[in-house]
């Protein structure tokens, strides 16, 4: 699955980057805690930049306690792994969580991010910050390609 010219053109036309930030609600259920359209600031002709998310500590803090199975990514706190992930059309992963802070961008296609509060459709150019919460993925009708940067976090206290 390749990033198409149309995907890139759609992102440029929007002038913003849609970013979902996950967390947990007062009942400990995974949810979207923030959805924002980060504006891209024009810094020079043909050059724009935006900052949709930044950490305040290194390594990032421990994830909240999860209910779904833990998938051990084998990434020590503060270390980084950059991955490309492909989901086939209508494919699904099981609900899970990780000891990582994941910064993911949809490169092409579409995908549903499934949290305890429901499914959230992401399209090419959308981003999500997964703070180690319970989640699953469901590929859209044409599948999806994601760029994912995973930053290792310590496990929650008592885990």
The H-or-E segment that residue 21 falls in is: strand 16-24
The H-or-E segment that residue 108 falls in is: strand 100-115
Q: How confident is the model at residue 5 (pLDDT cuts 50, 70, 90)?
A: very low
Distance CA 153, CA 60 (A): 6
Distance CA 49, CA 43 (A): 7
Number of residues that make up the chain: 159
Distance CA 33, CA 25 (A): 8
Over the stretch 131-145, which tens digit does the pLDDT of each residue have?
A: 999 999 999 999 999
Query: pTM of the entire structure?
Result: 0.84
Mean residue pLDDT across the chain: 89
Q: How confident is the model at residue 13 (pLDDT cuts 50, 70, 90)?
A: low
pLDDT score of 57 more than 90: no
Over the stretch 109-129, which tens digit does the pLDDT of each residue have?
A: 999 999 999 999 999 999 999
Distance CA 98, CA 75 (A): 10
The hierarchical CATH code for the domain 5-37+63-152 is 2.60.120.10
pLDDT score of 58 more than 90: no
Give the per-residue pLDDT at 19.
95
């Amino acid at each position: 699955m390749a990033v198409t010219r149309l995907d890139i053109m759609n992102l440029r036309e929007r002038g913003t980057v849609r970013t979902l930030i996950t967390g947990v609600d007062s009942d400990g259920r995974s949810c979207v805690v923030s959805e924002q359209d980060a504006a891209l600031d024009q810094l020079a002709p043909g050059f724009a930049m935006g900052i949709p998310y930044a950490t305040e500590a290194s390594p990032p803090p421990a994830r909240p306690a999860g209910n779904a199975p833990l998938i051990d990514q084998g990434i020590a706190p503060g270390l980084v792994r950059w991955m490309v992930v492909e989901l086939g059309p209508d494919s699904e992963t099981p609900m899970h969580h990780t000891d990582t802070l994941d910064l993911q961008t949809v490169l092409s296609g579409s995908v549903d991010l499934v949290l305890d509060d429901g499914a959230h459709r992401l399209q090419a150019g959308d981003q999500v910050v997964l703070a180690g919460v319970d989640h699953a993925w469901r590929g859209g009708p044409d599948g999806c390609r994601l760029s994912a940067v995973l930053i290792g976090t310590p496990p929650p206290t008592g885990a």
